[in-house]
Every structure is written in C-alpha cells, then in structure tokens.
C-alpha cells in the first residue's frame, strides 16, 4: 500500500441555515422518491424476468422530470438523484452475486436521510464548502483538519434521527502508511463480563453504554408511548428526545471501539479473533441486549480495515474451535463446560481463567494457520490421551 491509495471519509457536524435545511430536506425527499420509483420499475421488470440497467433508470429519471406530477424533481440538484440510482445498481449487483438480500424500499421515517454529491456538484475552497443549488457555504464545525493537500472527491450530507446534521468528505489520505513490522501477536477473546480478554492476560472492561443510560432511555420511551400517534409537535419532541439518547449511546460506544482497535493494531502485527456469528447469537433473548451493546460485529469491522491500512494481519479462527474447553498448557479437551464456569482445573493440574485460556488457544490456532494454511488447528488430545487433531474434510476416513 503506497501513500495516496487509501480513501478515507472525514465526518463533521454543521449548522444549516433555515433555507439550507429546507433545501436539503427537499433533496432528501427527492432522493428517496427516485430510489423507490426506480426500485418499483426494476421489480416489475424482474417479475417479467427482465433486467433493468442503471442507464435505463437514468433515462426514466429524465422522463419523470418532464411529467407534471414529478416536476419537483427538477428543483434540486440532479447529482444526488443520479447517485441514488448508482447505489440502487450496486444493491442489485450484490443481490445477483448472492451477497445481499433483495433491495428494499426506503421509508420516510426509518431510512437514513442523506444525499451524495460528486465533484461536479460542489465547490471546496479555503475550507468553505458550497453545494449545488444551495444558498451560501455550509457552516461546518471543523473538529479536525483534513489531510494537508487533500481535496474531497465526494461529499455526503445527512441528518440523523436526533436532528443532527453531518457532512462526510471522502478524500485521499496520504498520512495512512504501513507501520513498522513487529513480532508481537495477540489472541482476542470477546465476552460480556469483559469486552475483550487478551492472550497476554489483560482484561478490558465492558463499558456497557446502553445499560448506563437505560433508565433515562426507558423514561423517554415511556413518555413517547403516551403521546398520541401522528405528526403532533409533542410526539415529535418526545421522539427526538429518545433519538438523542440513542445517539449518545452510539457515539460513546463507537468512540471507545475506535480507540481500542487503534491501540491493538498499533501494538500487534498479528491479531487473532474468533469468527462469531453475531446474527445467530442475538437470537438468544437472554443475551441479545448485552451482545448488541457490546457491538462485537463493529469491533471486528474496525479492526479489519485498520489492519489493512497499517499493514497488519487479522486472522479469524473457526467459530466451532473449542477455545474455552481446550487446555492451553497440555492440549487436553474437556467435556461440557457451561458459561457459568469461569475458572477450571485441567487433569494436568493447571488452573485456567476461562477467557484467558480461550485467548491463548485462539492465538495458537491463528499462528498455526499462518504457518500451515487455513483449516489447521493445534494438536490436542482427549482426556484418554488419544489425538483429536481436526482434519480437513478430504483427510477424514469414509
């Protein structure tokens, strides 16, 4: 990876004027309308076993603008409308490649309010950003500077459920460079009592951001539930209050995960984690809330892209690997071990902390993969002494 190849989004809050807020709200509505119209057209064609391309939906957009019913689409910048058609094309590409489900229609209340502008629809000069068909530059809160010499290639404006406005600028970031190689490697066991347990023995506390604000959130949600349904001012205020609490929880959680993943990537060359199926795990209604609050999937996502940026390696060990039940000292595989068991003693006399032992086994398995190839696991033996090394499917006896 050479400098200049990493594209990075820099997100800032901004305070629009009343005129800018009205214009952006109209743009968000038009983007959603065009997306839904194009999706409906492609769905009808799909029912006839026909495929509609991006070029065809772009031609449809031109026709829609000329109709009396949809003439309002011409009042906003055309670039965000074209971009939403490209996003729809990408959604269908993922669907046909079986990487995603069939695209869904955008809801006015639930979908993200956003509009994407390419370089032809904005000007950025001397720290001042002006969008097409927008009165004046945006009043951006520059919480951190853009990389020196970087010019945004794409600008995305959005508004969250709490009513906060954001602008995200996609730039080449020449400051992102591979870090100096090191021999350090670490196994990472994800948990709920502790967010992370490292093979070094270090345990990182689970901050439980949602639990800390649960009383405030519950009170706000009960207040919202008592408001009459509809578009009344009181219900809108109550809804925004709930959204702000959710936003506070999300921001604190993401900030903590960013700091944690950056530290791990800077300190270690190889990072070994378990390939957890979080989607299936949250089906356990006893643990779903705690698992969602821990945000294991986001932790892995942040860890992987930062490792790619800085020349590190992340290895995901098979989720069925018995990391907790395998003695990291002698390799003996224990029997059933419920979650309530946090410490246990092996037949060899070694007493293990369940999470530290799991992290050590994950590290050993990950290092074995780097040396011997995917699918290889460190040799282990059953209490009876027989080898129980996992074999590849092609090596198993019929």
Q: What is the pLDDT of residue 373?
A: 58
Average pLDDT over residues 143-164: 93
Task: For residue range 265-308, list pLDDT tens digits in order.
Answer: 999 999 999 998 888 898 888 889 999 999 999 999 999 999 99
Q: Which of 49-53, 255-259, 356-360, 390-394 has the highest mean pLDDT?
A: 255-259
Q: What is the pLDDT of residue 284?
A: 87
Residue with tokens 């209340």: 109
Extents of the domains making up the chain: 7-172, 185-205+260-393
Average pLDDT over residues 199-226: 94
Q: What is the pLDDT of residue 279?
A: 87
CA distance linking residue 77 with residue 309, whole number of Å: 34
- Please, what's the b/e burial string for 87-96 (b: 16 or more CB within 10 A of its CB; e: otherwise)? ebbebbeeee
Q: What is the pLDDT of residue 20?
A: 96
Q: What is the pLDDT of residue 387?
A: 35
Position with higher pLDDT, 245 vs 367: 245
CA distance linking residue 356 with residue 326, whole number of Å: 12
pLDDT over 80 (residue 155): yes
% of the chain surpassing 90 pLDDT: 70
**Active centre residues (catalytic):** 189, 274, 355
Q: What is the pLDDT of residue 245?
A: 96
CA distance linking residue 119 with residue 131, whole number of Å: 10
Q: Which residues contact 32 (CB under 8 A, 6 or more apart)?
A: 106, 108, 111, 113
CA distance linking residue 238 with residue 226, whole number of Å: 10
Given pLDDT bands bounded at 50, 70 and 90, which one contains residue 385? very low
SS (H, E, C) the chain: CCCCCCEEEEEEEECCCHHHHHHHHHHHHHHHHHHHHHHHHHHHHHHCCCCCCHHHHHHHHHHHHCCCCCHHHHHCCHHHHHHHHHHHHHHHHHHHCCCCCCCCCCCCCCCCEEEEEEHHHEEEECCEEEECCCCCCCCECCCCCCCCCCCCCEEEEEECCCCCEEEEEEEECCCCCCCCCCCCEEEEEECCCEEEEECCCCEEECCCHHHHCHHHHHHHHHHHHHCCCCCCHHHHHHHHHHHHHHHHHHHHHHHHHHHHHHHHHHHCCEEEEECCCHHHHCCCCCCHHHHHHHCHHHHHHHHHHHHHHCCCEEEEECCCCCCCCECCCCCEECCCCCCCCCEEECCCCCEEEHHHHHHHHHHHHHHHHHHHCCCCCCCCECCCCCECCCCCHHHCCC
Closest CA to 332 of 320, 316, 319, 345: 345
Please measure the distance between the N-terminal and C-terminal CA atoms of the chain and give it in whole angstroms: 45
Given pLDDT bands bounded at 50, 70 and 90, which one contains residue 248? very high
pLDDT over 60 (residue 174): yes
pLDDT over 70 (residue 149): yes
Closest CA to 363 of 150, 186, 109, 132: 186
Task: For residue range 309-347, list pLDDT tens digits in order.
Answer: 999 999 999 888 888 888 988 888 888 888 888 888 888
Q: What is the pLDDT of residue 372?
A: 64
Average pLDDT for the chain = 89
Q: What is the pLDDT of residue 353?
A: 87
- Please, what's the b/e burial string for 63-81 (b: 16 or more CB within 10 A of its CB; e: otherwise)? ebbeeeebeebeebbbbbb
CA distance linking residue 342 with residue 281, whole number of Å: 20
Average pLDDT over residues 88-113: 93
Task: For residue range 20-31, list pLDDT tens digits in order.
Answer: 999 999 999 999
Q: How many CB atoms lie within 10 A of CB 171?
A: 19
CA distance linking residue 194 with residue 381, whole number of Å: 29
Q: What is the pLDDT of residue 377?
A: 44
Average pLDDT over residues 23-46: 96
pLDDT over 50 (residue 394): no
Q: What is the pLDDT of residue 144?
A: 92
Positive or negative: CA dihedral 224, 157, 99, 370: negative
């Amino acid at each position: 990876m050479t400098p200049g190849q990493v594209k990075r989004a820099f997100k800032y809050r901004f305070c629009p004027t009343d005129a800018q807020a009205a214009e952006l709200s109209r743009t968000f509505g038009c983007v959603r309308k065009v997306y839904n119209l194009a999706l409906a057209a492609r769905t009808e064609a799909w029912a006839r076993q026909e495929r509609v391309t991006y070029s065809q939906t772009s031609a449809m957009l031109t026709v829609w603008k000329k109709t009396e019913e949809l003439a309002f689409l011409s009042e906003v910048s055309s670039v965000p409308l074209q971009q939403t058609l490209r996003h729809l094309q990408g959604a269908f590409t993922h669907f046909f490649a079986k990487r995603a489900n069939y695209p869904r229609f955008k809801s006015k209340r639930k979908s993200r309010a956003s509009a994407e502008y390419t370089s032809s629809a904005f000007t950025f000069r001397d720290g001042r950003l002006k969008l097409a068909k927008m009165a004046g530059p945006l009043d951006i809160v520059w919480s951190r500077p853009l990389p020196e010499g970087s010019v945004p290639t794409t600008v995305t404006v959005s508004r969250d459920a709490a009513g906060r406005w954001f602008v995200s600028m996609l730039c080449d970031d020449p400051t992102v460079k591979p870090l100096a190689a090191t021999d350090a490697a670490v196994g990472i066991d994800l948990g709920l009592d502790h967010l992370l347990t490292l093979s070094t023995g270090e345990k990182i506390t689970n901050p439980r951001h949602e639990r800390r604000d649960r009383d405030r959130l519950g009170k706000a949600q009960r207040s919202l539930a008592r408001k009459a349904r509809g578009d009344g001012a009181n219900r809108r205020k109550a809804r925004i209050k709930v959204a702000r609490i959710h936003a506070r929880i999300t921001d604190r959680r993401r900030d903590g995960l960013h700091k944690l993943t950056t530290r791990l990537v800077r300190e270690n060359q190889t990072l070994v984690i378990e390939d957890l199926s979080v989607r299936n795990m949250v089906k356990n209604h006893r643990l779903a809330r705690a698992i969602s609050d821990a945000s294991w999937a986001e932790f892995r996502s942040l860890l992987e892209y930062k490792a790619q940026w800085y020349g590190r390696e992340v290895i995901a060990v098979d989720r069925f690997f018995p990391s907790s039940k395998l003695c990291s000292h002698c390799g003996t595989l224990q029997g059933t071990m419920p979650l309530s068991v946090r410490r246990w003693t092996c037949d060899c006399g070694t007493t293990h902390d369940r999470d530290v032992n799991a992290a050590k086994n994950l590290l050993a398995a990950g290092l074995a993969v780097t040396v011997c190839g995917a699918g290889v696991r460190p040799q282990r033996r059953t209490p009876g002494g027989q080898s129980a090394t996992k074999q590849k499917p092609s090596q198993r006896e019929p």
